[in-house]
A = this chain, B = another copy of it.
């Protein structure tokens, strides 16, 4: 039977500690050249909704020791509104019942069969969190316990969860531009994690004197600047443009997630908004040779050095997401779903065929 799982199922099954453990195992396999990851691709075309574009994004990965291959697909209606000084990339919940469309399909490496189909939302933030958490584990000071958080959205929650899974975090100071959002987020996270999460009114209030700065925004412009760096800090970002280029250059040790080439980008002529947005995001690449930076999988297997002293400024940039992460987290979720009998079962024959394709 092929399982149809929900975000609620994934929320129940996928703990941050287990997600970090399975991903660390999978990163080792990736570093050794056994795991396989196919770089993300984005297709863009116009829609009939004004400036909004249609985006069909996909990424694949296979973790052979976990026995799972994954394809992650996003079918999005995207806009690029300006909020304050920053340009944001926003998805419109345009599908029926005002919903988003992101799917993960899991396949067996042993016989090819489709194991499960599930929405990507919960898994997606857990795997981003896990990656930045693994980086903290290997790069931040062992006694780091105070976090400055920029952002209060869906991703920000998983970032804090991940930090708490690898360090004895005692306090988090959270800034985001919307006072209501940061207050609601701080209350919710305090309750969830049993630690002090405080909303602050300025980004500097969040970052000053902390051990770890975590950026977790939708911004395609920098939100953390060189002038805020303090000795011994670990800087963490979930996307390329969040940390100012000079701040990255100032860090003693910079590790990226993975040195894939830039995503494959195919767009209708005239789909210029995205190209402009991408241009801002990727402009960094002109100043820093990302291909030459060490990667998280290399760090996990000790093939690149981590922090060398308590005064070192370390920096992890989650520069690109990998379909491979969905294979790893998906293998864990699938195994636990089977054990607990969660999900709808559909006949596997619906998703297989007797003709040679």
Interface residues of A (CB under 8 A from B): 4, 6-7, 32-39, 41, 43-49, 54, 56, 58, 60-62, 64, 69, 71, 73-77, 91, 93-103, 105, 107-114, 117, 119-122, 124, 153-154, 264, 266-269, 344, 346, 348-357
Q: How far apart sit A242 and B99, CA to CA, in the bound complex (Å)?
A: 47
Task: Say how many copies of this protein the assembly contains.
Answer: 2
Q: How far in angstroms is the closest Cβ of chain B from A156?
A: 12
B54 touches A112 (CB 8 A): yes
Q: How far in angstroms is the closest Cβ of chain B from A2?
A: 10
In the complex where A102-B357, A111-B96 touch, is A64 in contact with B38 (Cβ < 8 A)? no
**Residue of B60, B75, B153 touching A112 (CB-CB under 8 A):** B75
B356 touches A64 (CB 8 A): no
Q: How far apart sit A29 and B60, CA to CA, in the bound complex (Å)?
A: 27
**Residue of B35, B38, B56, B348 touching A264 (CB-CB under 8 A):** B38
Listed A/B pairs (18) with beta-carbon separation below 8 Å = A36-B43, A45-B109, A54-B69, A56-B62, A56-B69, A58-B60, A94-B111, A94-B113, A95-B108, A95-B114, A96-B111, A96-B352, A97-B349, A100-B112, A100-B355, A101-B352, A103-B351, A121-B356
Q: How far in angstroms is the closest Cβ of chain B from A60?
A: 5
Q: Which residue of B lies closest to A44 (CB)?
A: B36
Most chain-B CB neighbours within 10 Å: which of A39, A64, A107, A356? A356
Q: Which residue of B lies closest to A121 (CB)?
A: B355
B119 touches A357 (CB 8 A): yes
B36 touches A76 (CB 8 A): no
A114 touches B101 (CB 8 A): yes
B75 touches A96 (CB 8 A): no
In the complex where A73-B105, A103-B351, A111-B96 touch, is A357 in contact with B121 (Cβ < 8 A)? yes
B71 touches A71 (CB 8 A): yes
Chain B residues with CB under 8 A of A58: 38, 58, 60, 71
B352 touches A100 (CB 8 A): yes
